[in-house]
Amino acid sequence: QRLVSRELSDYRLIVVSNRQPYVFKMVDGVPRGEMPPGGLTAAIDPLMRACGGTWIAQSNGEDDLAAMDDSGRIRVPTDAPAYSMRLLNLSDEENTGFYYGFANEGLWPLCHIAYTEPVFDAEHYGFYQSVNRRFADLVLDEINDEPAIVLIQDYHLALLPRYIREVSPDTIIGQFWHIPWPNPDILRICPWQDEILDGMLGNDLLGFHLSGDCQNFISCVDANLDAQVDPEYGLIDYRDETTLVRPFPISIDFDNLDTEARSEEVEDEMARLSRELGLNRGRILGLGIDRQDYTKGIPHRLRAVERLFEKWPQYRGRLVFLQAGATSRTSINSYMQLTIDIESAVNRINERFGHDGWQPVLYWPTSLPSTTFSALRRLASFCAESSLHDGMNLVAKEYVASRVDDDGVLILSAFAGAAQELTGSLIINPYATEQFAEAIHQALTMSDAERRIRMRQMRNTVRENNIYKWAGRIMMNLMQASTPDHSRLTT
């Protein structure tokens, strides 16, 4: 039996993710760490600042080496050092097999119902195993036989919990899986399903966004491993260890985005964009923001916009739909094809309907400053997030947080995890083009009063269920999950 004092401060905290929390670049000859955009870092950085500890990740920064001390650590944040970063350098070959190959061509399409066929290649899997082992070596070195809590992030590191557990049985291990989990019929496409499940059952606590993902995971374990499962309490007994499986719907730093949206910089940016997009001349803006991925349903969204212009000609010359957000994973074929599909849909709609200096669809596939994103969210009469399948979808929550005026309509796919919380949105099926187009029309004709009621309700939800609450609940459940007596667990 493990002896657990249940005081967080008694443990060394180690976070592990593929992406590093601070990326270093030389500024005036001195290495400076900048936090890359994204919810994960913003969620866990405050916890690390408060508790101290070490964050282990792959090195992607140009100037990481220059920032490292003799022990290979980088103290962050640069201005007020509170914790250490330790980085793993992967060769191009390792990164291709581990990250692009098994994680993003295999597990990513496997876990999303988007009808992109997963690629399972033995060589890729070999790199996935060896890179997970390299992460484990670094984690074990950092644990150094001391009491430790290891908090692992995402689908790049499914084997890591077992690799740590084998060597360090007393370490408390938790993992949060940021994407959906498939049912047993889909999981069995993966030739290494048993090893993946076994790896993840090295965790004391395993978190998904939704209870449906948890139930799928428990069904997969029940169908494939010699384990005892209790779906009601989310408990799995396997190899004389217990894993607690729980939903933790991720969120955003509401106050931070709310404050940014009210700032002078954002107001200035709004004025500039209003002129550029013609909103000061009576045009209205519709918005889609996505990391460009085939799970986000961008071509489906464009089809609905096209149908809107067909069916309701009053929007011609008046509505501008802007699709923003940078491309990602561009070396993978399915992502290259997506860019081609999006560009051809944008060109088709613009050729069909554009006239007299009015371009119906704008396409900005680049990363923009956060103040520009904030300004666009404040200006857009509606934001459409049409994922074919999405663990959560933070963009939907960011739109809500930026609407400090309680205005704007969120159109949200029923297949995004966020749809379960954001019930003030207009929920659509991205495959049902007619219904999707009608929802855009409904958004644009909704009364002021109804818009405000819906947005206020969603803002209260996101303000309350914010990212800090998410991180706090995970830590609380992790401490509880590591106690031998699970009957005392709270939900």
Closest distance between ligand GDG and the C-beta of residue 486, in Å?
Answer: 26
Cβ proximity to ligand GDG: between 243 and 251 the closer is 251
Cβ proximity to ligand GDG: between 416 and 455 the closer is 416
Angle, vertex CA 345, rays to CA 344 and CA 351, nearest 5: 85
Cβ proximity to ligand GDG: between 394 and 437 the closer is 394
Beta bridge partners of 151: 15, 174
Task: Give the number of other CB atoms < 10 A from CB of residue 234.
Answer: 24
- Using rule CB under 6 A, residue 332 touches ligand GDG: no
Map the footprint of ligand GDG across residues 60-119, applying CB under 6 A.
none
Cβ proximity to ligand GDG: between 48 and 114 the closer is 114
Map the footprint of ligand GDG across residues 180-219, applying CB under 6 A.
none
Q: Which of 53, 61, 199, 325 binds ligand GDG (CB under 6 A)?
A: 325
How far CA 256 is from CA of 39, 207, 269, 328, 371, in Å, comes to 12, 25, 18, 26, 12
- Using rule CB under 6 A, residue 39 touches ligand GDG: yes
Closest distance between ligand GDG and the C-beta of residue 448, in Å?
Answer: 27
- Using rule CB under 6 A, residue 307 touches ligand GDG: no
Q: Which of 16, 68, 205, 250 binds ligand GDG (CB under 6 A)?
A: 250
Number of residues in the chain:
491
CA distance 267 to 250: 29
How far CA 394 is from CA of 98, 116, 133, 253, 302, in Å, comes to 26, 22, 31, 10, 20
Closest distance between ligand GDG and the C-beta of residue 395, in Å?
Answer: 4
Q: Which of 124, 134, 156, 178 binds ligand GDG (CB under 6 A)?
A: 178
- Using rule CB under 6 A, residue 289 touches ligand GDG: yes
Q: Which two tokens stand for residue 371?
A: 């103040």
Which segment (21-29, 57-65, 287-295, 438-446) binds ligand GDG by CB under 6 A?
287-295
How far CA 325 is from CA of 108, 353, 373, 401, in Å, comes to 19, 24, 9, 18
Extended beta strands in 232-303, E state: 235-238, 241-247, 284-289
CA distance 73 to 85: 6
CA distance 172 to 188: 29
> One symbol per residue from 355 to 394: x for binding ligand GDG (CB under 6 A), - otherwise; what is it?
------------x----------------------xxxxx
Q: Which two tokens stand for residue 382?
A: 């509606």
DSSP symbols for 377-423: HHH-SEEEE--SSBS--HHHHHHHHH-TTS--EEEEETTBGGGGT-T
Cβ proximity to ligand GDG: between 392 and 481 the closer is 392
What is the residue whose two structure tokens read 């350098």?
89
- Using rule CB under 6 A, residue 398 touches ligand GDG: yes
- Using rule CB under 6 A, residue 42 touches ligand GDG: no
Cβ proximity to ligand GDG: between 125 and 294 the closer is 294
Q: Which of 138, 179, 236, 319 binds ligand GDG (CB under 6 A)?
A: 179
Closest distance between ligand GDG and the C-beta of residue 484, in Å?
Answer: 31
Query: Distance of alpha carbon 92 from its chain centroid, rounded?
Result: 24
CA distance 136 to 154: 15
CA distance 28 to 20: 22
- Using rule CB under 6 A, residue 326 touches ligand GDG: yes
Size of the residue set binding ligand GDG (CB under 6 A): 20
Q: What is the radius of gyration, based on Cα positions, of the chain?
A: 23
Cβ proximity to ligand GDG: between 160 and 250 the closer is 250
- Using rule CB under 6 A, residue 291 touches ligand GDG: yes
Closest distance between ligand GDG and the C-beta of residue 351, in Å?
Answer: 26
- Helix, strand or coil, per DSSP, at residue 321: strand
Closest distance between ligand GDG and the C-beta of residue 267, in Å?
Answer: 20
Closest distance between ligand GDG and the C-beta of residue 252, in Å?
Answer: 7
Q: Does residue 245 contact residue 478 with C-beta atoms inside 8 Å?
A: no
Cβ proximity to ligand GDG: between 9 and 366 the closer is 366
Q: Is the peptide bond before 77 cis (omega within 30 degrees of 0)?
A: yes
Q: Which residues bind ligand GDG (CB under 6 A)?
A: 37-39, 178-179, 250, 289-291, 293, 325-326, 367, 390-395, 398
